[in-house]
Amino acid sequence: MEMHFDQHISRQFNEDLEGLKTEMLEMGGLVTSQVADAVEALANADSALAESVLEIEEEIDRRELNLDEHATLIIAKRQPTASDLRMVMSVIRIARDLERVGDEAGKVAKMALAFSEAGSAPRGYTEIRHIADAVRNMLNDALDAYTRFDVTAAMDTLAKDTQVDMDYSSAVREMITYMMEDPRSISRGINVLWILRALERIGDHAKNICEQVVYLVKGTDIRHSSNSNNS
Amino acid sequence: MTATTTITTTVLDVGEAAPNSQKPVEHPIMDTLTQSTETVGQPLCESATLRMRHVNVFYAETQAIFDVSLDIGRNEVVAMIGPSGCGKSTFLRCLNRMNDTIEGCRVEGELTLDGEAIYGPKVDVVPLRARVGMVFQKPNPFPKTIYENVAYGPKIHGIASRRADLDEIVETSLQRAGLWNEVKDRLDKPGTGLSGGQQQRLCIARAIAVSPEVILMDEPCSALDPIATARIEELIGELSENYTIAMVTHSMQQAARVSQRTAYFHLGKLVEVNDTEMVFTNPQHPLTEAYITGRFG
Amino acid sequence: MTNPTSPAPLTDKQSQVRERIAQRLGSRHRKETMFRLMGIMSVTFGVLVVLVLFTDIIGKGHGAFVQSAIELEVDYDPQVLGIDSVSPETLALANFDAVIRRALQARFPDAVGRNNRRALFSLVSSSAPYELQQQLQENPQLLGQKQILWFTADDDVDTYVKLFADNKRGHFERLSEQKVAWIQQLLDSGELKKRFNTTFFTNGDSREPEQAGIRAALVGSLLTLLVTLALSFPIGVSAAIYLEEFAPKNRWTDIIEVNINNLAAVPSIVFGLLGLAIFINFFQLPRSAPLVGGLVLTLMTLPTIIISSRAALKAVPPSIREAALGMGASRMQTVLHHVLPLAMPGMLTGAIIGMAQALGETAPLLMVGMVAFIVDVPGSITDPSTVLPVQIFLWADSPERAFVERTSAAIMVLLSVLILMNTSAVWLRKKLERRW
């Protein structure tokens, strides 16, 4: 079904919905760059960049509150139905996911700060780099699919989460091997595990966004369904 | 008189210069309306009280309803929505043959109430209308007392002859309509002296006084304020335990609140019938979607 | 955010428009005042005309409610009367004329000679002997006694007393100098007085103005109206109900509707001709009777009643009909229980308008012979009679001066009946029209 949010009789309603979507996508852009920056800070031991990531996190929290408020207002004023209702609902849910992604990016940035104080790049960096690239792409693609109401792209992106999960488990196994080999690296290794864990969570949130694209366009909620897990 | 002429022209210019964007935007969805009269969703159900098959209604030469098939189940509330002139009221009025009073109105198709034909040369409308009551858009109590309003139906149908029986019918009907406590001390006062919402509940009491099986409601709340509307909606919920209710409404929220199934009419065609939840969160037909989300209407 | 206390500056367009509006404001107000003045003038003109009409009629007609009478001392002398006992048979033969002549002679002994005596005897009305007869019939013991009685004066005397006696200016050519002298003498001595004119309300028409009354015409009018109302209201209302509530809307009902409207515009005399042809010539109904008059007026008022009744039915909100039909009431029940009670006040108004129209109608009644000279008060709808407007028409045509005031007085009576009818209509409507 084609999605048109610019054809209501009330032009104000068009603008409200369009504004909500734009606001959400802006937040998404901010969060995506935050993830990129956090990984970058980690790679380059750039404490300044890591600090800026943590600062942006507050901005993201504020945006989530704004989005919630605007969505609530639209529901109160317009009593949206059907695709309009799904649009508002998906924005609220995605905003929540994005805020969580922001939190995870913050965790990564904190680790980056810790590593930069210790003064060395951690072992397992290639795995981090690999998974970080994958989840960043997923996040980008999910938001892209949302912009274009593209269910196929969303399903493709959603499928990539399985790969991320697999990569994550193998990275975890690898880190365990390192730590068993060199007990002194355990504390640092645990930090790396934390980072990997955060990145993997970002992937999950990207997947949630994809599910919302399907919900918005198709009207079916595929969360917690086998469809979502297997494909 | 050149001066006046100039003034008039300029004033006209001012008028034309005003933003002229109030025209409804031509909607691509409007073009997607096919000629097919197929209904999306679940128009039919088992153990239906009212069964309508391939109903066509004509006003003289113009056709108002195109091949509509719909079932209304026992004690079910079915809401009919759609833009003005889509035929939903016309369809509703077929169910108790109120269209008979309109000159040149012709109804084709198979309409049955509990398996008995509604239309037909041998069918008498008087008992039919006792079985299928109706509540109208504007509260229209008779210009008589509250008591006489409710007692009118039982009287003309000879349901109760003794005063005591009549008193009991009046009381229970008013109680069911949630009006008894408000009017029990002034049954001999004119029904038209009540507030709009009370009048509408009086009309409902009047309708249920003859124990109908079906109650038709034609935009019963469109002339009422939100509080009165809420009361009527509450009442519809209670009545649906005993009566089958078909209602036409312009308020989509109302349809969403009170009905179990919602039927969407468009240009005389039944476009979609589905569970109300379904219609309002994920309608199956683009026209339904466009209408309930306020793209046209 | 704009500050609500300081309005945003006007755009050029807005200020232009405001300027134009301000420019034309003066002329708009002038036109409005003109319009209102014209309305007030029209109303004033209407009220003025009515006032002039009423003053004229009342001014001319009030005199008819009093009548001059002459006081005479009569002697019920059995010899003069030529009877010895009082009984219906003897009274019919008695010579009351002689008694009055003697009484007059006794009052004015100076009247000698044939001409003078005839002039003297014509001071009292020709009805004087009948008044005397009635007096004796009611009081048989008066036979052989003397009594002072008031006798109706002749119309010429009456006219002189009313119009000339006071200012003594004019000269009434119908009275001789001798007669005027007698009248003055009687007036000065208080033997000639204006008394309330009961004759006007108790008598029928007469050639003698002082004996003419409107009773016959009034009763004739009421009987005719009764027939009209009894026929036209039920027929008109049923026709209206059928046409409005039951008849299918097709070309036939359209034709009927157009024809009813046309019928309302047909000149009333045509109905008279119709009545003459059908009721009198074909059905052989009695001429000059209120029955035929009522039938003719029924034909005339039917369209009015049908049209107004239909309008009243149309004014009943369709929601009431829907409510009743929706309850399962039949068409007839719907009409009888709900529509008719609501339409009744309007129908009554229409009927009253029709009745008022009928009351004032002359032309069709002329054709069915209700223009006859009727002295007796009609007792039933088949008795010959006349009606008030025809009576007015007849009197207006009469040469006697005393009929002028009677014409106006009859108009006053007609107007009073009309006002009475309209008032009762308003009262009835108020009573029926319960506020819901």
**pLDDT, tens digit, for every residue of A74-128?**
888 888 888 889 999 999 999 999 999 999 999 988 888 887 777 665 566 778 8
CA C111/CA C102 separation, integer angstroms = 12
> Closest partner residue to B142 among C16, C24, C320, by Cβ?
C320
A to B CB pairs, distance under 8 Å: 50
Q: Which residues of B touch C337 (CB under 8 A)?
A: 152, 156
Whether residue B15 has pLDDT greater than 70: no
CATH 3.40.50.300 fits B43-139+195-292, yes or no: yes
More confident residue, C83 or A101: A101
- Please check whether residue C400 is in contact with residue C209, taking contact to mean a CB–CB distance below 8 angstroms: yes
Q: Could you write out the DSSP letters of every residue in C192-257?
A: EEEEE--HHHH----SSGGG--SHHHHHHHHHHHHHHHHHHHHHHHHHHHIIIIIS--SHHHHHHH
Helices C96-107 and C128-138: crossing angle, nearest 10°? 110
Count of C-beta atoms within a 10 Å radius of residue C346:
21
Instruction: Give me the amino acid identity at B139.
Output: P
- CA C374 from chain centre, in angstroms, equals 17
Whether residue C99 has pLDDT greater than 60: yes
CA A211/CA A217 separation, integer angstroms = 10
Look at strands B77-81 and B244-248 and give their pairing. Answer: parallel
Look at strands B269-275 and B261-266 and give their pairing. Answer: antiparallel
Whether residue C171 has pLDDT greater than 80: no
Mean pLDDT of chain B: 82
- Please check whether residue B160 is in contact with residue B242, taking contact to mean a CB–CB distance below 8 angstroms: no
More confident residue, B270 or C434: B270
Whether residue A54 has pLDDT greater than 70: yes
% of chain C surpassing 90 pLDDT:
23
In what helix (H) or strand (E) does residue A54 lie, and over which residues does it extend? helix A47-78
pLDDT class of B37 with cuts at 50, 70, 90: low
Find tokens 């200016």 and name the residue.
C169
pLDDT number for residue B23:
38
- Which of C206, C159, C194 has the alpha carbon at shortest distance from C180? C159
CA B55/CA C171 separation, integer angstroms = 96
Q: Write the pLDDT tens digit of every residue in C204-237.
A: 888 888 888 889 899 999 999 999 999 999 999 9
CA A214/CA A90 separation, integer angstroms = 10
Domains by residue range for chain C, with CATH: 63-197 (no CATH), 215-432 (1.10.3720.10)
Q: Give the CATH number of domain A11-230.
A: 1.20.58.220
The strand ranges marked E within B83-164 are: 105-113, 116-117, 132-135
pLDDT number for residue B3:
38
Does the pTM surpass 0.80? The reply is no
pLDDT number for residue B249:
92
pLDDT number for residue A121:
56
User: In this structure, what token pair is assigned to residue A213?
Assistant: 């694209």
Q: Does B296 touch chain A (CB under 8 A)?
A: yes
Find tokens 């990129």 and name the residue.
A36
The average pLDDT across C102-119 equals 83
Q: Which residues of B touch A76 (CB under 8 A)?
A: none
Q: Does B153 touch chain C (CB under 8 A)?
A: yes
Which CA distances in Å does A54 have to A49, A106, B94, C154? 9, 5, 68, 130
pLDDT class of B36 with cuts at 50, 70, 90: low
Which residue on chain A is closest to B290 by alpha carbon?
A8
Mean pLDDT of chain C: 86
If you compute the radius of gyration of chain C from its CA atoms, what whole number of angstroms results? 32
> Closest partner residue to A83 among B252, B256, B293, by Cβ?
B293
Whether residue B29 has pLDDT greater than 80: no
Question: Which distant-in-sequence residues (6+ apart) come within 8 Å of A85 by Cβ?
Answer: B280, B281
The average pLDDT across C99-120 equals 83
The average pLDDT across B122-144 equals 89
Please answer yes or no on whether B142 and C323 come within 8 Å at the CB atom.
yes
The average pLDDT across A139-147 equals 91
User: In this structure, what token pair is assigned to residue C57?
Assistant: 């009629």
Q: Write the pLDDT tens digit of every residue in C232-256.
A: 999 999 999 999 888 888 888 889 9
Round to the nearest angstrom and report the end-to-end CA distance of chain B: 47
Question: Which distant-in-sequence residues (6+ apart) come within 8 Å of B31 by Cβ?
Answer: none
SS3 C287: coil
Q: Give the residues across from B133 on adjacent strands.
A: B215
pLDDT number for residue B9:
34
User: In this structure, what token pair is assigned to residue C232?
Assistant: 């036209």
pLDDT number for residue B120:
83
Which residue on chain B is closest to C250 by alpha carbon?
B103
pLDDT number for residue C156:
83
Question: Which distant-in-sequence residues (6+ apart) come within 8 Å of B247 by Cβ?
Answer: B77, B78, B79, B80, B92, B216, B217, B218, B219, B220, B236, B255, B258, B259
% of chain C surpassing 70 pLDDT:
96
Least Cα separation, residue C346 to chain B (angstroms)? 16
- Which of B282, B207, B265, B290 has the alpha carbon at shortest distance from B78? B265
Q: Which DSSP state fits C243?
A: I
Whether residue B34 has pLDDT greater than 60: no
Please report the sign of the dihedral spanned by the C-alpha atoms of residue B115, residue B117, residue B118, residue B124: negative
Which residue on chain A is closest to B294 by alpha carbon?
A8
pLDDT number for residue B292:
86
pLDDT class of C434 with cuts at 50, 70, 90: low
pLDDT number for residue C100:
86
Instruction: Kindly list the partner chains of chain B, i.e. chains with 3 or more CB atom pairs below 8 Å.
Output: A, C
Domain segments of chain A: what residues? 11-230
Please answer yes or no on whether A81 and B281 come within 8 Å at the CB atom.
yes
CA C134/CA A200 separation, integer angstroms = 135
CA C13/CA C344 separation, integer angstroms = 57
Whether residue C194 has pLDDT greater than 60: yes
Q: Write the pLDDT tens digit of every residue in C347-376.
A: 888 888 889 889 988 888 888 888 878 788
Helices (H), C316-362: 318-326, 331-333, 340-359
pLDDT number for residue C180:
82
> Closest partner residue to A7 among B256, B280, B295, by Cβ?
B295
Which CA distances in Å does A12 have to A77, A78, A82, A148? 11, 10, 18, 22
Q: Does B133 touch chain C (CB under 8 A)?
A: yes
SS3 C193: strand
Please answer yes or no on whether B256 and A81 come within 8 Å at the CB atom.
yes
Which residue on chain B is closest to C23 by alpha carbon?
B7
> Closest partner residue to B126 among C20, C330, C436, by Cβ?
C330
- Please check whether residue C75 is in contact with residue C148, taking contact to mean a CB–CB distance below 8 angstroms: no
CA B201/CA B209 separation, integer angstroms = 12
CA C55/CA C418 separation, integer angstroms = 18
pLDDT number for residue B25:
40
SS3 B65: strand
> Closest partner residue to B293 among A1, A81, A219, by Cβ?
A81
The ipTM (two decimal places) reads: 0.80
- Please check whether residue B58 is in contact with residue B64, taking contact to mean a CB–CB distance below 8 angstroms: yes
CA B100/CA B94 separation, integer angstroms = 8
- Please check whether residue C154 is in contact with residue C68, taking contact to mean a CB–CB distance below 8 angstroms: no
Q: Read off φ and ψ for residue B221, nearest 5 degrees.
A: -115, 5
- Please check whether residue C343 is in contact with residue C392, taking contact to mean a CB–CB distance below 8 angstroms: no
User: In this structure, what token pair is assigned to residue A11?
Assistant: 């032009």
- Please check whether residue A210 is in contact with residue A142, taking contact to mean a CB–CB distance below 8 angstroms: yes
Q: Which of B77-91, C69-83, C181-195 has the highest mean pLDDT?
A: B77-91
Whether residue B209 has pLDDT greater than 60: yes
pLDDT number for residue C310:
92
